[in-house]
């Protein structure tokens, strides 16, 4: 399967409009020391023709412009190679791009999410009803731990199979009524995507609060893993002065240190181990930083917009 990282940054992107952290300042200055990055989204395809978006960031328009495979083709007045949008959560950086794909097309583009994400995007942040008033966007439920072939809008098989698994839930700030653990099942998921013909396997977990048996299981046999690279250290949000919560409390597994995700990354077998959803404060964004060198030594990579590979 073909995989393209459309956007490798967490919410806010790099540089973030209102941020003066060293990375945002360097990206703004254009020295090349820190590459600008758009917000978190990936595209996957079995045949290089029909693509599924894994999360739809508010930068989706720019991401489509930067990737000719997502441009409309054919003789009809309107068309798109986008065959579905698959959401891992209801966060603004992962879902609000649906607003910018509201224009109608002869074929309807399904939106795949868990029932809980659908409810939050219908009631708490009513993006789905808003988008549906512009065009037909049928919803397809993602049920946890049920592998399902992904169909194209025409009903034909896409060649890809999806299985979603639970990661520790991460409740968006705009959700006011999520009480108790049972109220958050399906809030945040990881995705296993398998190429049904060629057998390639991708694991995508842009938000994961820590290691888990589900993540271990999903990593088995994976050719590529795209993992939460939001924060370098647990106290980074507090130290950088933008939140009183720790990385883990925000639902993000810090990269460094004992029990950090880099240790897990170094221990798994996947040929490609790439961080995505990277917050602008993360020092591993520095092209010549010691943190970047540490990532490389562990056999991992810091994802960049436009990275493409086969899984
Ligand atoms: C997150 O990943 O923690 C959220 O997307 C935060 C946000 O940008 O609102
Ligand atoms: Mn996010
Ligand atoms: Zn910043």
- Alpha-carbon 93 to chain mean position: 9
Q: 47 vs 52, 85, 159, CA distance in Å?
A: 11, 17, 8
- Alpha-carbon 310 to chain mean position: 17
Residue 180 has pLDDT above 70, yes or no: no
Burial of 294 (0-12, 13-18, 19+ CB in 10 A): middle
CA of 217 to the centre of ligand 3 (A): 34
Q: Which residues line ligand 1 (CB under 6 A)?
A: 10-11, 91-93, 207, 250-251
> CA-to-CA distance for 84 and 101, rounded, in angstroms?
11
Given the CA of residue 10, which atom of ligand 1 is nearest to it? 2
CA of 167 to the centre of ligand 3 (A): 26
With H, G, I as helix, E, B as strand and everything else as coil, classify residue 128: helix
The sign one gets for the Cα dihedral 284, 207, 51, 44 is positive
Give the pLDDT band (50/70/90) at residue 169. Answer: confident
Given the CA of residue 170, which atom of ligand 1 is nearest to it? 3
CA of 106 to the centre of ligand 2 (A): 31
Q: Which token pair is 202?
A: 């991708």
Mutate to test the pocket of ligand 1, among 7, 8, 9, 11 (most ligand atoms within 8 A of CB): 11
Give tens-digit pLDDT for 201-210: 999 999 999 9
Q: Which residues of 139-173 are buried (b: 16+ CB within 10 A; e: fewer)?
A: bbebeeeeeeebebbeeeebbbbbbbbbbbbbbbe
Give tens-digit pLDDT for 99-151: 999 999 998 999 999 999 999 999 999 999 999 999 999 999 999 999 999 99
Given the CA of residue 250, which atom of ligand 1 is nearest to it? 3
């Amino acid at each position: 399967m073909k995989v393209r990282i459309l956007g490798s940054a967490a919410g806010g992107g790099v540089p973030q409009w209102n941020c003066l952290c060293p990375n945002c300042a360097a990206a703004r200055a254009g020295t090349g020391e820190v590459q600008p990055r758009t917000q978190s989204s990936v595209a996957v395809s079995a045949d290089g023709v029909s693509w599924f978006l894994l999360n739809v960031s508010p930068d989706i328009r720019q991401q489509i412009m930067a990737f000719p495979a997502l441009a409309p083709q054919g003789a009809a007045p309107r068309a798109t190679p986008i065959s579905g949008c698959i959401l891992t959560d209801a966060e603004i950086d992962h879902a609000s791009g649906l607003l910018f794909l509201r224009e109608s097309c002869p074929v309807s583009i399904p939106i795949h999410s868990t029932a809980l994400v659908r409810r939050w995007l219908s009631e708490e942040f009513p993006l789905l009803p808003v988008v549906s008033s512009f065009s037909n966007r049928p919803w397809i439920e993602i049920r946890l731990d049920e592998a399902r072939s992904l169909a194209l809008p025409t009903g034909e098989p896409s060649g890809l199979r999806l299985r979603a698994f639970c990661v520790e839930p991460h409740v968006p700030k705009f959700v006011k009524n999520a009480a108790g653990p049972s109220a958050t099942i399906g809030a945040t998921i990881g995705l296993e995507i398998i190429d049904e013909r060629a057998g390639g396997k991708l694991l995508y977990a842009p938000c994961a609060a820590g290691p888990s048996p589900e993540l271990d299981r999903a990593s088995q046999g994976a050719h590529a893993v795209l993992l939460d690279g939001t924060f370098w250290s647990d106290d980074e949000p507090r130290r950088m002065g933008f939140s009183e919560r720790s990385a883990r409390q925000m639902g993000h597994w810090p990269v460094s240190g004992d029990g950090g995700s880099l240790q897990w990354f170094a221990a798994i077998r996947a040929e490609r181990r790439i961080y995505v959803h990277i917050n602008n404060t993360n020092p591993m964004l520095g092209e010549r930083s010691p943190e970047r060198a540490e990532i490389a030594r562990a056999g991992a990579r810091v994802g960049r917009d436009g990275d493409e590979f086969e899984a």
